[in-house]
Amino acid sequence: MGNLKEEIKQKALEMGFSLCGVSDIKKVETVEFPPDRGLMRPSEVMPDAKSLVVMGFVVWDEGLNTAVATPSTGDFTGGEAEYYNLYYEVTETRAWRVAHWLWEEKGINAMPTHAVHLKVAAQLAGLGFIGHNTQVITPEYGPRVRWIGLLTTAELEPDEPFTRDLCAEQPLCQEESLCVKACPYNAIIPGPSFGVPPGEKVIYDKCVVAHELDRDIDEEWEKYIRRITERGFMECTICNLACPYGKPVDEKIIPAKRGIV
Ligand code: SF4
Ligand code: SF4
């Protein structure tokens, strides 16, 4: 199955993903995750899945962080909100193309999902480190990556987990983590994410993302909601853009996409 794994990775790149790895599905099955975020175990999403592929899409334009939502209680678990998010839709559509190819060409079942704990899955797939801002920091693009999983009935050998501590290695974050410092609401608890109970590293109620769907939005939150239409906005990415590991996206990827180089 070694070749199949490489073929899947190649197909993921062809479909517009920049990173792809195979996670250890058994470990993802047992990992703890925060409650009330709509997360599930792989077996709950696809009971006969044998492997979990993780694919990363580089956010090279802030417009990809656009969301459109009906007013709600700020609950992302489904609830009453009608919620559309561009990077969710883009990654899911592209992942379905990989799934379709697997079925058509190999007769193998596969199903894209955002519902499993993708941050842990990406680390286990060797793609990055869970940084102080709780995002997956990749050596290539920092945290400027949106993730999706592909559950499949194919048996694929998991990749080696990512073992470097990129936050400890980052010279610019030795005195203070730039992501923690950048948050206008002091929502991120300083220090490593590892060892902090799931869901508690970013104080959810203090993060603007938890309030973007509020029915009556306080001025305090409105200040950092990048509204583009009455119900459309770009999600807060301040702590994401602050990470020095994301600079290659500014320096190379964005100019290339804009046709500057
Ligand atoms: S998304 Fe914005 S408000 Fe939330 S932790 Fe990051 S910088 Fe703070
Ligand atoms: S800004 Fe610094 S501390 Fe925060 S995730 Fe990036 S490297 Fe880690």
Domain residue ranges of the chain, discontinuous segments joined by +: 2-160+169-257
Atom of ligand 2 nearest to the CA of 182: 1
DSSP state of 81: -
Q: How do residues 9-30 score in pLDDT, each as one tens digit?
A: 999 999 999 999 999 999 999 9
Q: Among 190, 171, 172, 170, which residue's Cα sits nearest to residue 180?
A: 190
Query: Using CA positions, which residue lies closest to atom 4 of ligand 2?
Result: 179
DSSP state of 174: S
The model's pTM: 0.94
DSSP state of 188: B
3-class SS of residue 126: coil
105 CA distance to ligand 2 centroid (A)? 41
Q: How many CA atoms lie within 13 Å of 27's alpha carbon, on the beta-carbon side? A: 15
Query: Using CA positions, which residue lies closest to atom 8 of ligand 1?
Result: 183
**215 CB-near residues (< 8 Å, 6+ apart):** 71, 72, 73
3-class SS of residue 41: coil
Query: Using CA positions, which residue lies closest to atom 1 of ligand 1?
Result: 236
| Residue to mutate, 130, 137, 194, ligand 2, most ligand atoms under 8 Å from C-beta | 137
> Roughly what angle, to the nearest 10 degrees, separates helices 2-14 and 86-101?
140
3-class SS of residue 109: coil
Ligand 2: list residues with CB < 6 Å: 131-133, 137, 166-167, 170, 173, 177-179, 242-243, 245
Q: How do residues 96-150 score in pLDDT, each as one tens digit?
A: 999 999 999 999 999 999 999 999 999 999 999 999 999 999 999 999 999 999 9
